[in-house]
Amino acid sequence: MLIQGKQMHIQIQKGDIGRYVILPGDPGRCERIARYFDEPEFLSSNREYTVWRGRLCGEPVAVCSTGIGGPSTAIALEELVECGADTFIRVGTSGGIVDSVRGGDVVIATAAVRQEGTTREYMPIEYPAAADFSVVSALHQAAKQLGYRQHVGVIQSKDSFYGEIRPSEQPTASMLREKWEAWKAAGVLTSEMECSTVFVVGAVRHVRCGGVLNVLWNADTDDTLDASPEMAERGVKTAVEALKILIQQDREEK
């Protein structure tokens, strides 16, 4: 929705950005991510949305924060698509669910459990929140080249951060624990809050989306927080390298 020529929330317009966008949750991470671009340039800051742009392999790229959770993420994606973007990589933090996923690992999401409310207003719950195959492949290749310990598979997106961290304090404790154990038994890798929205809104708007998550800890086996700068950069570096791979592939396909 345009207000005085700019998208109402992200405060940019068509022509400001190109096809490729990195989506962190935290607006504070946008500038750091933009430092990986050539010619980084600040575009806007409004509410939880901060936008920077630049170039990779000569192609226009951008970074836009989504804020925490589904509603603000859906708004960011809708408005970025209206500005002409069609390829998105979410970069975020998460907490390992299965025992093999540990602090410092990188997880590439092929799909997300829809334990949130936003995407139910887009598609019935039977519809899967699946990432785009070409974006997943590029992320996998990028993490491999960078030599990171990576996992590729299904992740969980939920609405309640403290429902994950302190389930026993919620009136819904038994439901939360039962679901967590079910995800774990099925090999769900890690828990975060925005991928399912990115994937479902992206599918509905016919754009390509994927996600790469830094793992901060494993909630069940090790709650030592790994928040070192090097750890936080892993997902970002993976996303940047994956965008370069996609840009080259798109040029070859033209």
Ligand X SMILES: O=c1cc[nH]c(=O)[nH]1
Ligand Y SMILES: O=P(O)(O)O[C@H]1O[C@H](CO)[C@@H](O)[C@H]1O
50 contacts which partner out of ligand X, ligand Y, none, CB within 5 to 8 A by kind? none
Q: How far apart are CA 45 and CA 32, in angstroms?
A: 15
Contacts of 212 (CB under 8 A, 6+ apart): 89, 90, 91, 106, 107, 108, 109, 139, 143, 235, 238, 239, 242
Find, among 162, 39, 181, the residue nearest to 99 by Cα.
Answer: 181
Shortest Å distance, C-beta 253 to ligand X: 35
Count the site residues for ligand X by CB under 6 A.
10
Residue 217 contacts residue 239 (beta carbons within 8 Å): no
24 contacts which partner out of ligand Y, ligand X, none, CB within 5 to 8 A by kind? ligand Y
Binding interface with ligand Y (CB under 6 A): 24-26, 68, 92-93, 161, 192-194
Q: How far apart are CA 6 and CA 4, in angstroms?
A: 6
Give the CB-nearest residue to ligand X: 95
Q: Nearer to ligand Y by C-beta: 24 or 54? A: 24
Among 83, 193, 212, 242, binds ligand X (CB under 6 A): 193
Q: Does 73 bind ligand X (CB under 6 A)?
A: no
Among 78, 159, 161, 226, binds ligand X (CB under 6 A): 161
Shortest Å distance, C-beta 234 to ligand Y: 13
Give the CB-nearest residue to ligand Y: 25
Shortest Å distance, C-beta 73 to ligand Y: 9
CA distances from 124 to 71, 127, 128 (A): 17, 6, 9
- Which stretches within the chain are classed as H helix? 30-34, 70-82, 133-146, 161-165, 173-185, 195-204, 229-253
Q: How, if at all, do strands 129-130 and 106-115 pair?
A: antiparallel
Q: Nearer to ligand Y by C-beta: 98 or 109? A: 109
Residues that bind ligand X in the complex, under the rule CB under 6 A? 93-95, 161, 164, 191-193, 216, 219
